[in-house]
Structure 1
Amino acid sequence: MLQQIGSHARYIQSVLRGTAREDSAATPEYVKRSWLRCLTQYHLDPQSQREPFVLPRQERLARKEQNLELVSFADTEMAHLYHQLAGSGYSIILTDRDGVLLDYYGDLSFRNAAFRTGLVLGAVWSEEHGGTNGMGTCLFERAPLIVHRDQHFFSRNTGLTCCAAPIFDYQGDLVAVLDASGESDRAQQHTLVLVNMSAQMIENRMFLHRFRDASVVRFHSRPELVGTWGEGIIALDASGVIAALDRNALFQLGFKCTGELVGAPLERLFNISLSALVGRSQKKSFHALPIYDTRHGGRFFAVGPLRPRTTRYPQPGAVCSMSWSSAIR
């Protein structure tokens, strides 16, 4: 239920104290954690009517210049996501690591609400400035999430539903957030899945560009998903040792960080050498072939090595057979 401005602060306090008349159990823990940060760390007032913080023009231009590569790789995915959600009232937003809004695909029906709430280029949506919101809270939690209407900290934002997903670089540093925001009266899990899939494709494109001169091995536990947004990617340098792994590769192989793998040969991970994989891939016309995890014996399907620039990903609608739970892990 949308709260009146004067009651929103009381609503937040009642949920945090466990005295809310509504079912406070429906409020996600990450929202409660964010509310506490807003009250105790940032000293924000839920009923504040101050204008959203927008960077001066020159600083906005400098931010975009610093993130040209990110914006460039994100643009195609943002356009596809915008068209997928066409007619739903959602706008697609990209922020940098500090929550500064860098790029925006806006739905005309959402224009007035966007200006009212500060969803404009150069606006700062970190929690310190924007309170609990999809982009800022995603930056803190480092995970896909929905902030739905009254879950926003500031009263002026309680008409919004925000579905946000983080974007990481090849070193595992959070560099951006992709977000779909609108005035939907429902918290759309399906929208979050699409946003997260698009964010992962942006990550993959950035990874492949960063290692465009490396040899790349792509793999997945399901052969039909090799070449999609969910594949694991391993980059190997000229000497044939591991230079980097993306997040999907770490997740599928059960590792938490790349430290113990960078500099190791491919045989550290799989029961096949790089030269053998090259030979077998050529014989198979670069169709996915079975290989096995050396730690646990799990079966994967791999293609490689290929030059990253040859990889073309299907759009999210083509791979929706993957479970939603895996899509928003």
Structure 2
Amino acid sequence: MRGPFHSAFGGLTGRRTTEDPARPIASGLNLAAAHVDTIDQSHERCAALGVSRIERPDHNPLGRSDLTVARERNLRLHDHAAPVMEMLYEQIVNTESMVVLCDATGTIIHSIGDDDFLARASKVALQPGVNWSEQTKGTNAIGTALIEEVPTLVHADEHYLHANHFLTCSAAPILDPRGNILGVLDVTGDHRSYHQHTMALVKMSARMIENHWLTDDYRNVKRLH
């Protein structure tokens, strides 16, 4: 099935950058001053929090019952996001990547991805029930996007934790109509599978989820009147 993304980007399946795959080349984003400042400021926050770059973090995943509660608390977000995540995944399938949905605290509540990459991701706790805020995982697209409240790319050694240097992550916050953060949508993959259009896909997907939320709000208001 070809969703609304395909006509815009043609799908990313199996495609990689033809230049150095370990470094983003999208519009020189890795060299942009704003991007460098975002990463540097995040690293400073992590150092101030006492996050260790080299020690294996304590992942502390939610227990099954607590994860169920977290999912129920974010059921509306999940219901709006799940079909969009499926369409997004169709565009990145077979690129050693996964699509991740987090709540407003940075806890993963849903994910889908390539089986081979999911196995690698589980070793750094990229799985439901684990919190990916900066306080627990250092600089990463999910946690940093939550703080900056803007779409965020964190690539390879831009991650604060050495264990996460094999990742490339593109995340966008999901906002309600009043500008409150509902959660974060993220695509994470092997840094060698970086593609210049991934961030655009993530941002488009986050906007779709926000539009679904807004439409739902409008329908609820109409029912009350």
How many angstroms apart in 1 are the aligned matches of 2:118 and 2:82?
Answer: 20
2:176 equivalent to 1:169: yes
Residues 186 and 83 (structure 1 numbering): CA distance in 2 closer, same or farther, change over 3 Å?
Answer: closer
How many angstroms apart in 1 are the aligned matches of 2:96 and 2:146?
Answer: 24
**Equivalent position of 1:182 in the other structure:** 189
- Pick aligned residue for 1:31 from 30, 34, 39: 39
How many angstroms apart in 1 are the aligned matches of 2:35 and 2:207?
Answer: 27
How many angstroms apart in 2 are the aligned matches of 1:128 and 1:180?
Answer: 20
Shift of 1:180: 0.3
Residues 34 and 203 (structure 1 numbering): CA distance in 2 closer, same or farther, change over 3 Å?
Answer: same
Residues 25 and 144 (structure 1 numbering): CA distance in 2 closer, same or farther, change over 3 Å?
Answer: closer
Give, as a single letter, the amino acid of the residue that structure 2 aligns with 1:62.
Answer: V
Give, as a single letter, the amino acid of the residue that structure 1 aligns with 2:70.
Answer: R
**Equivalent position of 2:83 in the other structure:** 76
- Pick aligned residue for 1:117 from 124, 134, 143: 124
- Pick aligned residue for 2:108 from 101, 119, 133: 101
Matches within 5 A, 1:50-69: 50-69=57-76
Residues 24 and 116 (structure 1 numbering): CA distance in 2 closer, same or farther, change over 3 Å?
Answer: farther
How many angstroms apart in 1 are the aligned matches of 2:161 and 2:120?
Answer: 14
Shift of 1:175: 1.0
**Equivalent position of 2:137 in the other structure:** 130
Residue by residue over 1:263-317, the C-alpha shift from the partner in whole angstroms, topping out at 9 and shown as x without a partner, is: xxxxxxxxxxxxxxxxxxxxxxxxxxxxxxxxxxxxxxxxxxxxxxxxxxxxxxx
**Equivalent position of 1:192 in the other structure:** 199
Matches within 5 A, 1:228-307: none
Q: TM-score, normalising length from structure 1?
A: 0.56
Please state whether the residue corresponding to 1:55 is helix, strand or coil.
coil
**Equivalent position of 1:158 in the other structure:** 165
Which of the two has higher C-alpha Rg?
1
Matches within 5 A, 1:303-322: none
How many angstroms apart in 1 are the aligned matches of 2:135 and 2:96?
Answer: 27
2:151 equivalent to 1:144: yes
Shift of 1:44: 0.8
**Equivalent position of 2:7 in the other structure:** none
Listed as ranges, the gaps of 5+ residues in structure 2 are 1-19, 21-30
Residues 28 and 53 (structure 1 numbering): CA distance in 2 closer, same or farther, change over 3 Å?
Answer: farther
Larger RCO: Structure 1 or Structure 2 (Cα < 8 Å, ≥ 6 residues apart)?
A: 2
Q: Does structure 2 retain, via aligned residues, the 8 Å contact 1:27–1:151?
A: no
Give, as a single letter, the amino acid of the residue that structure 1 aligns with 2:83.
Answer: T
Shift of 1:118: 0.5
- Pick aligned residue for 2:218 from 197, 203, 211: 211
How many angstroms apart in 1 are the aligned matches of 2:91 and 2:194?
Answer: 17
Shift of 1:100: 0.5
Shift of 1:109: 2.2
Q: TM-score, normalising length from structure 2?
A: 0.81
Q: Does structure 2 retain, via aligned residues, the 8 Å contact 1:46–1:154?
A: yes
- Give the fraction of aligned pairs with identical amino acids, expressed as a percent: 34
Tell which deviates more after alignment, 44-53 or 100-109. 44-53
Shift of 1:26: 10
Greater helix share, structure number:
2
After the TM superposition, list the runs of 4 or more consecutive aligned residues in structure 1 that deviate by more than 6 angstroms: 23-27
2:208 equivalent to 1:201: yes
**Equivalent position of 1:86 in the other structure:** 93
Please state whether the residue corresponding to 1:50 is helix, strand or coil.
coil
**Equivalent position of 2:27 in the other structure:** none
Listed as ranges, the gaps of 5+ residues in structure 1 are 2-22, 216-236, 239-329
